[in-house]
Chains A and B, each alone.
Chain A
Amino acid sequence: MADKPLKRTNLYDWHVAHGGRMVPFAGWEMPVQYPTGPKEEHRITRTAAGLFDIDHMAQFSVSGPDAEAYLNYMTTWDTTLMAVNDAHYALLCYADGTLVDDIYLYRLPNRWFVALNASNREKDLAWMQAHTTGFDVTVTDVSDETYMLALQGPKAMEILQKVTEVSLASVPRFTIAEGEVAGIPTLISRTGYTGEDGVELFFDAGRAVEMWETLVEVGEPLGLHPIGLAARDSLRFEPSFPLYGHEISASVTPIEARLGWVVKLNKPFIGRDVLLKQKLEGVEKLLVGFEMVDKAVPREHYPVAINGGIVGEVVTGIYAPTVEKFAGHAYVPAQYAKSGTPIQIVIRGKMKEAVIIRRPFYRPAYK
């Protein structure tokens, strides 16, 4: 992957012109921050509205008479529970229960739509297309022609309502609607990955600049600001949303990652046997949240110790701006995964005290 040239979204020039600091991410050149800085961008999203270019993310269309049954077999969620226009978080697992990816499912009137992680796009497509045997279904990668951006924060719906005829009051959380936004045919999904209310928008990639500039123009008087990847990371961390390659990967299962709530064991799906066994018999390691007791910044891959012995490592380490804590996620042996357990994070060779605390650090505003 390192040899491939980095891809640019259609908003690349806009980001650069507005001081976006471009960095490599999942094969793309994306803004890690604007001149505002990540702490302020985080605060703006929690208190007003943030606009995120997330076009690096992948989208697949799944169509055919067996689409529901196929996705029910491929993912941990029960797709038969989803009504038309429902949106739901779901997981793709390998047969050994470890994670291929975490995804979002959307049931549209005539097809299903799936949003996936940029870094897993080719792998996910190959995985999904390799398992269509026996299902009358077509899985198509529509990432290139589909633009994806997110509008998140307490002012997001008010801003969006200014540029759409769709009555957003009739689009509840975790549903999707089709309509025009800024005159552009758009899938409006009342979802997001920040812990705030808001939407993710899917539309013709050729109209990205037009959509973005319209939202900036109508949103700025209400405090809207573009947000980079650094704030996106702290915003998703505080409500304990996992990020593939960090909390979750092909070396952990949903049960270990505390994602059992997305796993419906009462139906067959790839990975079910292992997950059922883990649910019944328990697991050896578990994801925990922790905060620092000693003042220090935990970082990904720092060793985690209990009573001085190394037992695991940090998978996300961060300064969490809303809760004003140095905090993180780590895997520890299951017997220690209790809130209140003292742990140590090894930071530059020194044991720094931390404590396991209840997740999430920040309760999503829409709950």
Chain B
Amino acid sequence: MNVDQNAKFMESHEWARKEGDVFVIGISDHAQDALSDVVFVELPAVGDTVTKGEVFGVVESVKAASDLYAPVSGEVVAVNEALEDSPEIINNDAFGEGWLIKVAPSNPAEWDELMTPDAYAAANA
């Protein structure tokens, strides 16, 4: 399974990766494969706050709408604008160009509690 070794994971397939003072958040490659073609993503705005374990957006594939759960709490400092017109980027590069939002964490220790890449891969083997 393609898993980003620098990211940590939610059971619900979101990942978060530390980049400087912020966390980059997305959905896993395994999740995009299971969803199949992503056609739309609904994301919060810069300045909104997200709370770990709560819904912060929705990813819609051809067949279904799936809630997105925040892996860490904090303030949204960036949103991947490219997904507005090209949501398929998530299918093509879930751990890279297909990131969803960046969050300035209110409690960075939350990240430590997430699943390790190995644990996530094992849980979805």
A interface list, Cβ under 8 A from B: 21, 32-33, 37-40, 230, 234, 295-297, 299, 318-319, 326, 348
Contacts and interface: CB of A to CB of B under 8 A. Distances in A.
Given A21-B36, A234-B62, A348-B58, 8 more contacts: A37-B37, A37-B91, A39-B62, A39-B88, A230-B36, A295-B40, A296-B42, A297-B40
Nearest to A228: B36
Contacts of A37: 36-37, 91
B121 interface: no
A297 B58 CA distance: 11
B63 A326 contact: no
Q: Is the interface of A mostly helix, strand, loop or mixed?
A: mixed
A352 to B, nearest CB: 11
B60 interface: yes
B55 to A, nearest CB: 10
A54 B42 CA distance: 35
Contacts of B40: 295-297, 319, 326
Interface residues on B, range: 10 to 19
Nearest to B67: A348
A297 B37 contact: no
Contacts of A38: 36-37, 62-63
Interface in B11-55: 36-37, 39-40, 42
13 contacts: A32-B63, A33-B36, A37-B91, A39-B37, A39-B39, A39-B62, A39-B88, A40-B37, A296-B40, A297-B39, A297-B60, A319-B39, A319-B40
Contacts of A234: 62
Interface of B: 36-37, 39-40, 42, 58, 60, 62-63, 65, 84, 88, 91
A234 B37 CA distance: 13
A297 B63 contact: no
A318 B64 CA distance: 10
A33 B62 CA distance: 11
A299 B39 CA distance: 13
Contacts of B88: 39
A211 B62 CA distance: 30
B58 A230 contact: no
Nearest to B63: A230
Closest 10 CB pairs of A and B: A319-B39, A297-B60, A39-B37, A38-B62, A37-B37, A297-B40, A230-B62, A37-B36, A38-B37, A230-B63
A297 B65 contact: yes
A40 B40 CA distance: 16
A266 B63 CA distance: 42
A23 to B, nearest CB: 9
Nearest to A40: B37
A32 B58 CA distance: 22
